[in-house]
Amino acid sequence: MTAPSTNTAKPATGIPALFKTAFINALVALVLFSLMVGIRTEAGSDGQLTYWTRFGELASLVGIVFGGSIVMELLRQWIGPTGTEKLVPPAIRSGMSFVGRYLAPALLIFTLLVPVIFYNQRYILDLAILVLTYVMLGWGLNVVVGLAGLLDLGYVAFYAVGAYSYALLATNFGWSFWVCLPLAGILAAFWGVLLGFPVLRLRGDYLAIVTLAFGEIIRLVIINWQSLTGGPNGVSGIPRPTFFGIPLDNSDDGLAAKLGIEYSSTHRIIFLFYLILALALLTNWVTIRLRRLPIGRAWEALREDEVACRALGINTTTTKLTAFATGAMFGGFAGAFFATRQGFISPESFTFQESALVLAIVVLGGMGSQLGVALAALAMIGGFELFRGLEGYRMLVFGMAMVLIMIWRPRGLIGHRAPTVYLTKAQAISSDLVKEGHG
Partner 1 sequence: MSGDKTGDKILGVDRLTMRFGGIVAVQDLSFAAERTKITALIGPNGAGKTTVFNCITGFYKPTGGTIRLTHDDGRVIALERLNDFRIAKQAKVARTFQNIRLFPGMTALENLMVAQHNALMRASGFTLLGLVGAPVYRDAEKHAIDLATDWLRRVNLLDRADDAAGNLAYGDQRRLEIARAMCTEPALLCLDEPAAGLNARESAALSELLLSIRNDGTSILLIEHDMSVVMEISDHIVVMDHGVKIAQGTPREVRDDPKVIAAYLGTDEEEAAAVMEGGT
* Whole-number CA gyration radius for the chain: 25
Nearer to partner 1, 167 or 314 (CB): 314
Least separation in angstroms between residue 155's CB and partner 1 is 22
CA dihedral 100, 105, 109, 114 (to 10 degrees): 40
Helix axis angle, 316-342 to 122-142, nearest 10°: 170
Nearer to partner 1, 117 or 429 (CB): 429
CA distance 26 to 134: 40
Asked if residue 376 lies in contact with residue 138, where contact means CB atoms within 8 angstroms, the answer is: yes
Nearer to partner 1, 101 or 435 (CB): 435
Nearer to partner 1, 170 or 309 (CB): 309
Nearer to partner 1, 261 or 429 (CB): 429
CA distance 407 to 433: 18
Nearer to partner 1, 305 or 385 (CB): 305
- The residue length of the chain stands at 439
Least separation in angstroms between residue 297's CB and partner 1 is 5
Nearer to partner 1, 268 or 303 (CB): 303
Least separation in angstroms between residue 9's CB and partner 1 is 28
Nearer to partner 1, 184 or 309 (CB): 309
The site for partner 1 (CB under 8 A) is made up of 286, 289-290, 293-295, 297-298, 300-301, 303-305, 307-316, 322, 417, 419-427, 429-430, 433-435
The one-letter amino acid at 160: A
Least separation in angstroms between residue 309's CB and partner 1 is 8
Least separation in angstroms between residue 436's CB and partner 1 is 10
Nearer to partner 1, 279 or 314 (CB): 314
Least separation in angstroms between residue 161's CB and partner 1 is 22
CA distance 299 to 322: 9
Nearer to partner 1, 176 or 316 (CB): 316
Least separation in angstroms between residue 157's CB and partner 1 is 24
The one-letter amino acid at 246: I
Cα–Cα distances in Å, from 429 out to 101, 261, 433, 435? 16, 52, 7, 11
Nearer to partner 1, 38 or 296 (CB): 296
Least separation in angstroms between residue 282's CB and partner 1 is 12
Least separation in angstroms between residue 413's CB and partner 1 is 18
Least separation in angstroms between residue 303's CB and partner 1 is 8
Least separation in angstroms between residue 317's CB and partner 1 is 9
The one-letter amino acid at 220: L
CA distance 378 to 246: 32
